[in-house]
Amino acid sequence: MTNHLASLTRRGLLAGSMALGLLPRGTRAAEAHGGTATWPCDDAACDALRGSLGSPALGFARDAAGAVSLTVSGWRMRGRVERALADDVWHWGSISKPVTATLIAQAVEAGELRWDDRPLVLLRDDLPDAHQGYAGVTLLHLLSHRAGLAPMASDVELLFLPRTEDDARASRLIAARQSFARPPASRPGTQYAYGNRGYMIAAAMLEKAVGVPFEALMTQRLFAALGLASAGFGPPGTPGRLDQPVGHVSVGGKRTLTPRPPESPIADNPVAFSPAARVHMNLADMLRFLAAHRDRTALLSAASWQRLHTAPFGGDYALGWWLAAEGLTHSGSNTLWNADVLVAPRYVAAAATNDGDFDRVHPALHAAICELATLCGPAAGGGARVAGTGSARNGGS
């Protein structure tokens, strides 16, 4: 297959990694403080930031103790007149990982899985050629990127998996078998190596234990429990209609911002990547998910929340979260979209754009959400405040 993921130069590898929904450790959210953006407290500020970046559309949202602000600027697709709306759906890339870890915690509480379950045991019938160096790997290793799996660059090997399929269980087992057939890159538990494979394998373990596809379990359990009505998987929108924002890619070192609508041959990662990199939802629903982690709601026990927010083998990556000075954080991109989220003690925040140029837009997104605590006061009136273009509908869209 010929596409913009093919290059494995240092810069090309970064681009290829993003197209898989990866965020290399060297550019993780907690380290990306190079931007100078401030929190866009209103529509004018959001417009100004979007204009300075040159992005098609940009959205920011925060929840400070129930006081919500949300603002969206720009257009669903470059060259079109349909504006992005406050309730539009955004692609969150690797922010799928904390979502998946939360679903796994639900399964542990239900007695369907244990944190010390081992893939070489649970999936033994599907891993006939597994290297025994992985014998001690558990769910905790997989979800904290310490399973000794092959380096992130190897995820490019998985691009042959289907980009459209109704049931990706067999594809995830293929990924698991391929991953465990090679010797460990490091002794499990000793080295952090960010990637997608661990989350795909963890989802395969859940599917084996319950007998239901991951996407259905996520929809029935976590999305339903938190009321995330807009949440789903893959590129937002209906093929052939501009009813949601469209991702844009820049290739060849140029800022081309080429749109990739959902009917495009490569509009997202293969379906098997859903647990690691394919979740979509609108800004309000992302705030609901983040607030559940901030407030440690009754969705999970106190022990489970603590487990999710603790690095099990040291370091600064817990189960789906980087542990940063600002709080829990994660970023995501598939080279068509960029997003960043933060869970702080007093607030949660999310930023998203349909601009896939990570180097250009991510520092500004992250700087904005990390600085909002001092740059924006509480939302007016103590209740929900929604700014932006969400009250009107686009004609004909």
Q: In this model, does residue 218 exceed pLDDT 80? A: yes
Q: Where are the domains of the chain?
A: 10-382
What is the tens place of the pLDDT at every residue in 233-288?
999 999 999 999 999 999 888 999 999 999 999 999 999 999 999 999 999 999 99
Amino acid 308 reads L
What is the tens place of the pLDDT at every residue in 147-193?
999 887 888 889 999 999 999 999 999 999 999 999 999 999 999 99
Residue 65 pLDDT: 83
What is the tens place of the pLDDT at every residue in 311-366?
999 999 999 999 998 899 999 999 999 999 999 998 999 999 999 999 999 999 99
Banded pLDDT at 36 (limits 50, 70, 90): low
- What integer is the mean pLDDT of 7-11? 26
Q: In this model, does residue 307 exceed pLDDT 70? A: yes
Percent of the chain surpassing pLDDT 70: 84
Identify the sign of the CA torsion 220, 289, 358, 30. Answer: negative
Q: In this model, does residue 116 exceed pLDDT 50? A: yes
Instruction: Please give the backbone phi and psi of residue 279, each rounded to the nearest 5 degrees, phi first.
Output: -75, 140
CATH superfamily, domain at 10-382: DD-peptidase/beta-lactamase superfamily (3.40.710.10)
Average pLDDT of every residue of the chain: 86
Alpha carbon distance 330, 29 (integer Å): 6
Residue 282 pLDDT: 98
